[in-house]
Amino acid sequence: MTYSIADLQYLMARLRDPDTGCPWDLKQTFSSVVPYTLEEVYELVDAIEQGDQEQIRQELGDVLFQVIFYSQLAAESEQFSFSDVVSDIVAKLLRRHPHVFPSGELNSQRSLDAPADEAIKARWEEIKQQEREQKAQHSAMDDVPRALPALTRATKLQKRAAQQGFDWLELKQVIGAFRAEIDELEEAIAMADSRAVADEMGDVLFSAVNVARHLNLDAEAVTRGACDKFERRFRFVEQRCQESGVFAGKGELNSQMELFWNEAKAAGL
């Protein structure tokens, strides 16, 4: 049997029925659902990176359910409905794509002479700036969510600053700034100033994100890739330690473990 959005909305309403609903669902609030939303989004990202189409389909359903859940909570307090959510996003996308919908209506079509990519990007940013002004957001930084993963937020903040002309022009300048931050970190470590060390360590990571941005790399994605690579190699080290009877406990890096690590690198893990 195939179900529809209307069926999902009905199911959600039943889960929240005060008399016959699910006790767990009835306890939930906007704030309490947030951790589950984040978890579902990360599971979707993981399925996409794995290229597992069946899992992507399942995880998309889980993410959609989060939207339905929040909409139900809002409807119960008469704040807004799922239909309002849909209407708002359609209106926003129409407004932000005048190169596709020139009159701002769904049935309008652009001419075959498409504007250049740079012109589209510039118009997109102009429209977003107008939206910020309507929301009384006067800084380019105003609508960058604080809850974003740190690397993603750093990238967005840097891009916003770059749009205002606050950016290095050459990659060598970016790398030079990165090296300067490492020097400052080493100075703080030498001074044994824990607060300064934490501050400078943050600057090093922020500057590393800037290097990635100038290389047209997604800092979040490449860091996840580095995590995956480390995990593969360390699992290899663990396996070789077990096979060789090498004790892999706490303490300094065992020379044999380092040898196994180099084996993993040589094997392309």
Per-position pLDDT tens, the chain of length 269:
999 999 999 999 999 999 999 999 999 999 999 999 999 998 998 899 889 999 999 999 999 999 999 999 999 999 999 999 999 999 989 988 888 888 888 888 877 666 666 666 667 677 766 766 666 656 778 778 888 889 999 999 999 899 889 999 999 999 999 999 999 999 999 999 999 999 999 999 999 999 999 999 999 999 999 999 999 999 999 888 888 887 766 655 678 888 899 999 999 88
pLDDT of residue 249: 62
Q: Token pair 């504007």 is at which residue?
A: 115
Q: Is residue 66 part of a domain?
A: yes
State whether 13 and 53 are in the same domain: yes
State whether 260 and 205 are in the same domain: no
State whether 72 and 12 are in the same domain: yes
Distance of alpha carbon 43 from alpha carbon 67, whole angstroms? 16
Q: Is residue 204 part of a domain?
A: yes
State whether 122 and 66 are in the same domain: no
Where does a domain end: 183, 199, 217?
217
pLDDT of residue 227: 94
Distance of alpha carbon 169 from alpha carbon 45, whole angstroms? 32
HEC string of 90-134? Answer: HHHHHHHCCCCCCCCCCCCCCCCCCCCHHHHHHHHHHHHHHHHHH
pLDDT of residue 115: 63
Q: Is residue 73 part of a domain?
A: yes
Distance of alpha carbon 143 from alpha carbon 84, whole angstroms? 21
State whether 39 and 71 are in the same domain: yes
Whether residue 210 contacts residue 202, with contact meaning beta carbons closer than 8 Å, is answered with: no
State whether 75 and 107 are in the same domain: no
Distance of alpha carbon 154 from alpha carbon 144, whole angstroms? 10
Q: Is residue 86 part of a domain?
A: no
Q: Is residue 174 part of a domain?
A: yes
- Specify the pTM: 0.63
Q: Is residue 51 part of a domain?
A: yes
Q: Is residue 13 part of a domain?
A: yes
State whether 204 and 241 are in the same domain: no
Neighbours of 59 (CB within 10 A): 20
Helix, strand, coil share (%) of the chain residues, nearest 5: 70, 0, 30
Q: How many domains does the chain have?
A: 4
State whether 239 and 213 are in the same domain: no
Token pair, residue 160, equals: 């916003």
State whether 76 and 37 are in the same domain: yes
Distance of alpha carbon 111 from alpha carbon 115, whole angstroms? 10
Rg of the chain's alpha carbons, rounded to an integer?
25
Q: What's 197's domain CATH number?
A: 1.10.287.1080
Q: What is the dihedral of CA 125, 130, 136, 137, to 10 degrees?
A: 10
State whether 229 and 212 are in the same domain: no
Distance of alpha carbon 223 from alpha carbon 149, whole angstroms? 12
What's the domain range around 228? 222-266
pLDDT of residue 83: 96
Q: Is residue 92 part of a domain?
A: no
State whether 229 and 257 are in the same domain: yes
C-alpha 136: how far from its chain's center?
A: 25
State whether 71 and 13 are in the same domain: yes
In sign, the C-alpha dihedral spanning 137, 34, 225, 237 is positive
